[in-house]
Amino acid sequence: MQTKKGNKVNKLASLFISLMLFGNSLPSSAWAGYTYTEIITPPCLSAGANAINNVGDIIGGIVDATDYMDKGFLYSGGHYTEIVPPDWDGSYAEDINDSGAIVGYGLDKNGVGKGFLYSGGHYTEIIPPDWRRARALAINDGGDIVGGSEDVNGVYKGFLYSGGHYTEIIPPDWLWAEALGINNGGDIVGEGGTNGVYKGFLYSGGHYTEIIPPDWREAGANAINDGGDIVGKGSNTNDVYKGFLYSGGNYTEIKPPQWYAASAWAINDSGDIVGSGYAVDGYKKGFLYSGGNYTRIIPLDGIAAAAYDINNVGDIVGYGVDANYVTKGFVATLQSVCMTWADVISKYNTYVSGQASWNDVITCYSQYVSSEKSK
């Protein structure tokens, strides 16, 4: 006589065989394991989300449908707040820290490009003394701000604004530079150029280190986490555009399999990396690189997307283009799902023990297949 457990084993085997045979009929969701929330502030023509903090506050930008002005926004607790300094002719919100302080840049009423800090309901202009213009691009939890632009002599430089003081950021003998990211330890990364070569840099403890993978033609460093891991983008000697991870003195190329281009934009403290690039179908897509695996990032009804930031919870923000060619921001929130074969086996074992339903097993396996298809 066949036992109840034996019946379940046979049922599971039959299910797996049928799913493998007819797997093409399963939904090939590129976002198995995530739920999406659109980020678009009415009335606007388009929107994109640029950054998310560990509290879940999101900042980004829109094109206003009433005056066609570029405007920054904060999305927090289900509510939108316009982020535009008084009397400015537009703005872009670039980064937000865990205290809710926001940095960005735009044009003041005289048409001068300046950075700004929005904190505690107040705006502060961010521009080094005597500079022609400036952009504030990143802020850490200590309130240190980095960015860059053009000094009084027309030289493009990075800057650090900390404790009310500005410090120029440009490696020795470089022709230009811009600071793009800063972690909570005060380590700064960016990009610039010297002798006709485009390179990334790390500024830490008063010292500069060039950041460029071996044998690459060019590179730029975009972000650094609190562990000192750096991500960026560039191209090798064959002009293949790729992202990279620099960790512990070693470089790892970041490009989903069979994609022909990729950039790595952000990394969280767990080492999860997000970016964007171009798949074989020619459309721009986002990606998550985590635990050695790639997952496409694109909303379910989207035809194109990019992922720009990821927080320590694993929430991801970016923008997508829907089937009607409307550009929208999104936040993708991680759910409890089956992403590996071990997850499927674990779910089956909980079914055998009576702690899960057979439908739970089917759902788990479907999620696993969908995840595999999206890699």
pLDDT confidence of residue 206: 95
SS3 label, residue 358: helix
Co-location of 374 and 226 in the same domain: no
Co-location of 316 and 368 in the same domain: no
Produce one character per residue of 222-254: b if its CB has 16 or more CB atoms within 10 Å, e if not.
Answer: bbbbeeebbbbbbbbeeeebbbbbbbeeebbeb
Q: Which of 294, 334, 330, 329 is nearest to 313 (CA)?
A: 334
The strand ranges marked E within 163-315 are 165-169, 176-182, 188-194, 197-204, 207-211, 216-224, 230-236, 241-247, 250-254, 261-267, 273-278, 284-290, 293-297, 302-310
Co-location of 205 and 346 in the same domain: no
Which helix or strand (DSSP H or E) is residue 361 part of?
helix 358-374
Residue bearing tokens 């976002």: 31
Co-location of 47 and 144 in the same domain: yes
Q: What is the CATH number of the domain that holds 131?
A: 2.120.10.30
Parts of the chain with a pLDDT under 70: 1-33, 335-337, 355-356, 371, 373-375
Co-location of 188 and 226 in the same domain: yes
Co-location of 254 and 371 in the same domain: no
The residue range of the domain holding 39 is: 34-338
pLDDT confidence of residue 2: 38
Co-location of 202 and 344 in the same domain: no
β pairing state of 176-182 and 188-194: antiparallel
Co-location of 78 and 162 in the same domain: yes
Co-location of 126 and 82 in the same domain: yes
C-alpha span between 20 and 14 (Å, rounded): 10
Co-location of 291 and 354 in the same domain: no
Co-location of 200 and 83 in the same domain: yes
pLDDT tens digit string along 92-136? 999 999 999 999 999 999 999 999 999 999 999 999 999 999 999
Are 332 and 315 within 8 A, CB to CB? yes
Q: What is the pTM of this model?
A: 0.82
CB atoms within 10 A of CB 52: 26
Split into its structural domains, the chain has a count of: 2
pLDDT confidence of residue 337: 67
Produce one character per residue of 140-163: b if its CB has 16 or more CB atoms within 10 Å, e if not.
Answer: beeebbbbbbbbeeeebbbbbbbe
pLDDT confidence of residue 13: 52
Co-location of 299 and 374 in the same domain: no
Which helix or strand (DSSP H or E) is residue 91 part of?
strand 91-96
pLDDT confidence of residue 22: 40
* Helix, strand, coil percentages, rounded to 5, for the chain: 15, 50, 35
